[in-house]
Amino acid sequence: MVLGSVFAVLFYLAAIILVIGVASRGARYAQTPAPLVIPTTPAPLTRTGVAARMAREVVFFESLFKGSKWTWLFGWLFHFGMVVALARHLRYFTEPVWWWVAMIQWIGIYAGMAMFVGLTGLWARRLLVDRVRYISALSDHLMLLLLLAIAGSGLVMKYVQHTDIVSLKAFTVGLVTLDWQPLPADGPLLIHLSLVIALMLIFPFSKLLHAPGVFFSPTRNMRDTPREHRHIAPWARDLPGAGPDRS
């Protein structure tokens, strides 16, 4: 029960830091004006068009596809493997398990493998391509190691050393319902959970901010309508050059 309590407290703490950290970063982005109209053109002329551009960027990694096919392939495998694997994990937090979560259980396993392959490919590029090696800091390698270890420890529990899934589910449902339960003391499980907590803590202070950041990127989220709509930042409105006669 001590183990369960420790992990429960850590999870709550990590969740609070993750949410507050990302929200405050997002608030900072949202409050900082983009004083000039700077979409990378050709750019959409309408808000719907911008939403479509952003959707293509976030779902298909459109720009990355133009930039580097290998990075796109590995990056996409990793990210969408992760999304599906995360969705698969919803079965630990819902009782009864939602129908669609039950349906994707079998894909979830392949998704975990895709994640692993994608991360391995990304790390191989980081190590083998001289240009990418040059721009990598220690943290860039460690981030991949962390994610690989999370995916790896997850796969180990599926294929090598099963964990007590019934007790685990009691623990996770207990987290959600604020009814703390003991946590099975299995090595791979404790490693898996500890690394996930570490990832949640690191998220708001690292390059993982690219996830909220992309939505605030002015080269991607602005319309190409500077002639039709006057765009002006509050700080620029007050400049002497703005002139007294202009709104």
Partner 1 sequence: MLKIEFETPPLGELLTTPALQRDAMAHSRPFVAKPEHQQGLGFPGKLVDDWQDVALAKMDELLGKYRSLPVFLDACVKCGACTDKCHYYLGTGDPKNMPVARQDLLRKVYRRYFTLAGKWFPRLVGAVELSEDLINDWYSYYHQCSECRRCSVYCPFGIDTAEITMAGREILAAIGMGQKYSNEIIGKVHIIGNNLGLPEPALANTLEGLEEEVEEDISVPVKFPLDQHGAEVLLVTPSADFFAEPHVDGLIGYAKVFHQAGISWTLSSYASEAANFGIFIGNYENMQKVAQRIRQAAIDLGVKRIVVGECGHAWRVAYSFWNTLIGPFDFLDPAYPVPQHICEFTYDLLQRGALKLDAKANDDKVVTFHDSCNVSRGSRLGSVPGGQFTIPRELIRFACSHFVDMAPDTIHEHTFCCGGGGGLLTDDLIELRVKGALPRAQALQQVIEQHGVTHMAAICAICKSQFSKVLPYYGMEMDMIISVHQLIGDALVFDSQH
- Backbone dihedral region for residue 37 (phi beyond 0: left; psi -120 to 50: alpha; all else: beta): beta
Q: Report which of 183, 186, 188, 157 is spatially closest to residue 170, judged by C-alpha positions.
A: 183
Q: How far apart are CA 188 and CA 157, in angstroms?
A: 7
For residue 33, state whether it binds partner 1 (rule: CB under 8 A).
yes
For residue 96, state whether it binds partner 1 (rule: CB under 8 A).
no
In Å, what is the CA distance from 168 to each residue of 63, 154, 182?
40, 13, 8
| Nearest-10 crossing angle of helices 138-159, 105-128 | 150
Among 42, 96, 100, 128, binds partner 1 (CB under 8 A): 42
Q: How far apart are CA 98 and CA 103, in angstroms?
A: 9
For residue 106, state whether it binds partner 1 (rule: CB under 8 A).
no
For residue 20, state whether it binds partner 1 (rule: CB under 8 A).
no
For residue 36, state whether it binds partner 1 (rule: CB under 8 A).
yes
Among 132, 156, 173, 198, binds partner 1 (CB under 8 A): 132
Among 22, 124, 194, 224, binds partner 1 (CB under 8 A): 224
State the residues that interact with partner 1 by CB under 8 A: 25, 28-29, 32-38, 40-45, 57, 61, 63-64, 66-68, 71, 75, 122, 125-126, 129-132, 134-140, 142, 205-207, 209-210, 213-214, 216-220, 224, 226-227, 229-233, 235-236, 239, 241-243, 246-247
